[in-house]
Amino acid sequence: MTLEVLHPGAHSLLVDAGRPHSRSLGLPIGGAADQAAWKIANALVGNSPPQTALEIALSGPQLRATQDCVVALWGAPFDVRIDDTDIPAGRVMLLRAGQVLKIGGTPIGMRAYLTTPGGWIAPKILGSTSALAPIASGNPLTPANLPIPLPIRTNYLPEIQSARLLGNAASQTTNSAPTQLRILPGPHAQQFADVIWNERIFHVTPASNRMGLRLRGDPLRRTHGEILSEPVAPGTIQVTHDGQCIILGRDGQTIGGYPKIAHVIQADWDLLAQLRPEQALQLHPVSAADAHTALAARTQSLADWLARINASQ
């Protein structure tokens, strides 16, 4: 054992890339909700390809080192302390035996990822180490690479202190201005009266989780009857009987019976992971060509930053 869980936090879950090939079995994709933050956190400790990380949501855990351990945290700007010392974002931290890593709350965003060289040891279930339940007090977290690989750089890259430079999804969420999500029309869009998306503001309700975001807003009026259950995917926007929207996340089901009015483009999926309760958001229709261009640009930007981080180590 290397890290002892003194307090698990609100919802701290071991995750990897997920189970994209198991949807035919009725299993959600799972894995890191904010894939870019997960990959950057891994790059900070030299993990290429990225390994199993601890996804931290809203309020983080307290972890005591039972032996020396290297970790890094990236994503939403959580308050981080080692014993009584504040630690800046983007820093690779060397925990000495007996020290306590305290991850508090975050003023914006929702999730961040705690990584260690080689990743955290976790059992594989259907080809993935993504856990089915969060960690609990008393659980051990054990790095795959022990003893600590040397040399270890504990300095951080000055430029990554600016989350916006990395296109960090958490930095695009605020407590005032609505977060902007781009959407494509869904197969049942015509079943609703004319919807002027740009004139609507939604709020994320507390009844949201990794399965999906429940939104609160002016009800959408449907003009058709019931539909048969059909396949759904992360990013699908469904409308419930009371006219409210649900946006499915990475743990969302594979089949749903609510009408699908729209779909969040893949380039904005990481944003979904960083939307917190009562966060305001707006939905903006784009073309399929715009969606492809946005995904290509985000993929290239992330690849460039991962290369810069890896080259600096």
Query: Domain ranges in the chain?
Result: 3-170, 179-301
Residue 185 has pLDDT above 90, yes or no: yes
Model confidence at 149: pLDDT above 70 = no
pLDDT per position as a tens digit, 3-62 = 999 999 999 999 999 998 888 889 999 999 999 999 999 999 989 899 999 999 999 999
The answer as to CATH 3.50.50.60 being correct for domain 179-301 is no
Q: Extract long-range pairs of 85-89: CB within 8 Å, 24+ residues apart.
A: 88/156, 88/161, 89/156, 89/160, 89/161, 89/163
| Whole-prediction pTM | 0.93
Q: What's residue 152's pLDDT? A: 61
CA atoms within 13 A on the CB side of 230: 11
Exposure string for 65-94, b = 16+ CB within 10 A, e = fewer: bebbbbbbbbbbbbebebeeeebebbbbbb
How are strands ordered across the β-sheet holding 140-141? 85-86, 80-82, 100-103, 62-65, 3-7, 140-141
pLDDT digits (tens, 9 = 90+) for 92-132: 899 999 999 999 999 999 999 999 999 999 999 999 999 99
Radius of gyration, CA atoms only, the chain: 20
Burial 170-184 (b: 16+ CB within 10 A, else e): bbbbeeeebbebbbb
Answer with the residue of higher pLDDT: 153 or 232.
232
